[in-house]
Amino acid sequence: MKRLNLIEQKLAKLDWATTPVFVINGLKREELIAGGSMILHEVYFDSLGTSAAPAHLVSQLDHDFGGLEKWATQFAAMGKALAGGSGWVLLAWSARDRWVVNTWAADHAHNLAGATPILALDMYEHSYHMDYGAKAAAYVDAVMNNINLESAGRKLAALQGA
């Protein structure tokens, strides 16, 4: 949040007519990354805590993935594929397509266009290295055993207008 505030203060002081384009480009890119980081970390922390999946989320996962277990297998595999790298695995609602989709995000700034993350797995090394070292797969398994599907279900219901 501090980083985002600092960037926004710099943007507020810009003379947009005379500031070099590379300065504008750099600040706007950093604003996107800092804002995305803040939002994705909020979704991630809200994704932690064991809870059962509400019926409407299970129904959506059945429709879009062939079941909760198949979704979880894919989501975890995507996290393990990011081991040793950096990024996010997101379960996101696409209002355009009316489905949930697992997406990959890097640099805090990538997602399916128009989709809203409802569940996040932080695969940046800071999230697991102290507790798991290089064993990122063990971290992914631990998160999958401590995932807050009720929170994801609440977000999905709100996005679907339920």
Summarize pLDDT for 122-152 with one digit per residue, the tens: 998 888 989 998 999 999 999 999 999 999 9
Same domain, 13 and 89: no
Report the 10 Å Cβ neighbour count for 71: 22
Proportion of the chain above pLDDT 70, given as a percent: 99
* Domain co-membership, 111 together with 88: yes
pLDDT band at 162 (very low <50, low <70, confident <90, very high): low
Single residue among 29, 46, 63 that ends a domain in this structure: 46
Residue 122: per-residue pLDDT: 94
- Structural domain harbouring 6: 2-46
Least confident of 65-74, 106-115, 142-151: 106-115
Is there a single domain that holds both residue 20 and residue 96? Answer: no
Top-ranked range on mean pLDDT: pick from 26-35, 72-81, 125-134: 72-81
What is the average pLDDT across 28-55? 90
Note whether 24 and 77 are same-domain residues: no
- 76 and 41 share one domain: no
Asked whether residue 7 falls in the same domain as residue 29, the answer is yes
Q: What is the 3-state secondary structure (H, E, C) of the chain?
A: CHHHHHHHHHHHCCCCCCCCHHHHHHHHHHHHHHHHHHHHHHHHHHCECCECCCHHHHHHHHHHHCCHHHHHHHHHHHHHHCCCCCCEEEEEEECCCCEEEEEEECCCCCCCCCEEEEEEEECCHHHCHHHHCCCHHHHHHHHHCCEEHHHHHHHHHHHHCC
Please tell me the total count of domains within the chain.
2
Residues 99 and 132 in one domain: yes
**pLDDT for the residue numbered 50:** 85
Q: Specify whether 30 is located in the same domain as 61.
A: no
Average pLDDT estimate for 41-57: 92
Q: Any idea what the CATH number is for the domain that residue 120 is in?
A: 3.55.40.20
Residues 41, 89 share a domain = no
Beta bridge pairs of residue 88: 105, 122
- The Cα 85–Cα 125 span in angstroms is 7
Cβ–Cβ < 8 Å for 88, 122: yes
User: Does pLDDT of 3 surpass 70?
Assistant: yes
pTM for this predicted structure: 0.87
Per-residue confidence (pLDDT) for residue 107, from 0 to 100: 77
Q: How confident is the model at residue 59 (pLDDT cuts 50, 70, 90)?
A: very high
Residues 30 and 77 in one domain: no
